[in-house]
């Protein structure tokens, strides 16, 4: 009987320790906690994800001689190439280094920016993360600020559309969909840089990776009869080329015509 009692108590202590660790993780992440046993399903889900992913990311950063957690991250996505790149940097340098490329497993629409609600277009242009959504129907999601200042000038005035996310679950009707494991890493990465002080996490979305010859040929052939898209791509490519040169981000403004201007 005594041995059985000790075994039962040991199991209870182990479960208690797990709960304590989860609560500490949740507290460190800044989520609300009303009572010890008042952990919400969302908080429990996030605690489990962060507990599993953070150590893995730290090891990946170490293998690439990168500093964890990063002081800044930069996300850029290429529609035709179906890639989403994550660039990082620490406090000691102004230059970004490529951490990882994720496969965009599903996206809708064609080449060109989003201009109205219901067109199923993935936007093209320069955005930032404006929402962390752990309750997404697509596992986890990061919102981007479409419509931005340019879109508000050039898109449909009454129904430009909205609710554009990077999310998991590999389903898209205008969003950037990656698989569940990549969105977990990206969500933790973005949270880590935000917690370190990065309030503005840029997300740049291009039609193609201009440095890829095959992709560029596809784009040029697609828009050869569309003067507007030719001018639009000339405009946004300036930012791509600027970053490719020195791995630094320019200051991007918007003029009265809705065009992007590099400062």
| CB neighbour class for 35 (10 Å; exposed up to 12, middle 13-18, buried from 19) | exposed
**Distance in angstroms (rounded) separating the CA atoms of residues 245 and 224:** 27
What average pLDDT does the structure give for the chain? 87
Residues 28 and 157 in one domain: no
* For residue 235, pLDDT beyond 70: yes
Residue at which a domain ends, from 63, 80, 96 = 63
What are the residues whose beta carbons fall under 8 Å from the beta carbon of 9, sequence distance 6 or more? none
Residues 9 and 88 in one domain: no
Residues 131 and 57 in one domain: no
41: containing domain: 2-63
Residues 41-57 have pLDDT tens digits of 888 889 999 999 999 99
* For residue 232, pLDDT beyond 50: yes
Residues 49 and 97 in one domain: no
- Is there a contact between 139 and 183 (Cβ–Cβ < 8 Å)? yes
Q: Where does the pLDDT of residue 38 fall: very low under 50, low under 70, confident under 90, or very high at 90 and above?
A: low
Residues 6 and 132 in one domain: no
Question: What would the mean pLDDT of 232-246 be, rounded to a whole number?
Answer: 97
Residues 96 and 193 in one domain: yes
**Distance in angstroms (rounded) separating the CA atoms of residues 9 and 175:** 49
Residues 9 and 89 in one domain: no
- Is there a contact between 22 and 47 (Cβ–Cβ < 8 Å)? yes
Residue 147 placed within a domain:
yes
Strands 164-167 and 176-177: parallel
Residues 140 and 232 in one domain: yes
User: What is the DSSP track for 184-233?
Assistant: HHHHHHHHHHHHTT----EEEEESS-TT-HHHHHHHHHHSTT-HHHHHHH
**Distance in angstroms (rounded) separating the CA atoms of residues 157 and 180:** 35
Residues 86-127 have pLDDT tens digits of 999 987 777 999 999 999 997 778 899 999 999 999 999 999
Residue 146 placed within a domain:
yes
Q: Where does the pLDDT of residue 238 fall: very low under 50, low under 70, confident under 90, or very high at 90 and above?
A: very high
Q: Name the β-bridge partners of 231.
A: none
Residues 117 and 223 in one domain: yes
Residues 124 and 230 in one domain: yes
Residue at which a domain ends, from 10, 30, 63 = 63
Residue at which a domain ends, from 63, 87, 103 = 63
- Which CATH number do you get for residue 175? 2.40.440.10
pLDDT greater at residue 92 or residue 228: 228
Residues 204-213 have pLDDT tens digits of 999 999 999 9
Residue 253 placed within a domain:
no
Residues 111 and 201 in one domain: yes
The number of distinct structural domains making up the chain is 2
What pLDDT is stored for residue 37 in this prediction?
A: 52
Residue 263 placed within a domain:
no
30-34, 47-51, 83-87, 139-143: which range is least confident on average? 30-34
Strands 202-206 and 252-254: unpaired
Residues 134 and 42 in one domain: no
């Amino acid at each position: 009987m005594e041995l059985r009692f000790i075994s039962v108590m040991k199991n209870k202590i182990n479960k208690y320790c797990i709960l304590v660790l989860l609560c500490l993780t949740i507290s460190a992440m800044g989520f609300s906690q009303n009572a010890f046993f008042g952990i919400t399903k969302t908080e429990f889900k996030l605690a489990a994800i962060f507990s599993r992913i953070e150590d893995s990311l730290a090891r990946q950063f170490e293998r690439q001689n990168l500093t964890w957690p990063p002081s800044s991250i930069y996300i850029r996505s290429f529609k035709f190439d179906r890639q989403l790149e994550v660039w990082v940097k620490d406090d000691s340098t102004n230059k970004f280094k490529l951490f990882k490329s994720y496969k965009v497993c599903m996206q809708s629409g064609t080449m060109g920016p989003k201009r109205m609600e219901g067109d199923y277009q993935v936007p093209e242009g320069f955005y930032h993360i404006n929402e962390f959504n752990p309750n997404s129907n697509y596992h986890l999601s990061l919102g981007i600020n479409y419509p931005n200042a340019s879109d508000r000038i050039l898109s449909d005035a009454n129904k430009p559309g909205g609710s554009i996310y990077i999310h998991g679950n590999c389903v898209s009707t205008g969003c950037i969909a990656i698989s569940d494991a990549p969105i977990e890493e990206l969500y933790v990465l973005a949270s880590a840089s935000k917690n370190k002080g990065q309030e503005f996490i840029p997300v740049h979305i291009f039609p193609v990776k201009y440095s890829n010859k095959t992709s560029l040929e596809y784009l040029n052939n697609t828009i050869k009869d569309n003067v507007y898209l030719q001018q639009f791509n000339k405009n946004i490519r300036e930012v791509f080329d600027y970053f490719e040169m020195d791995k630094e981000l320019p200051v991007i403004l918007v003029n009265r015509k809705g065009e992007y201007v590099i400062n």
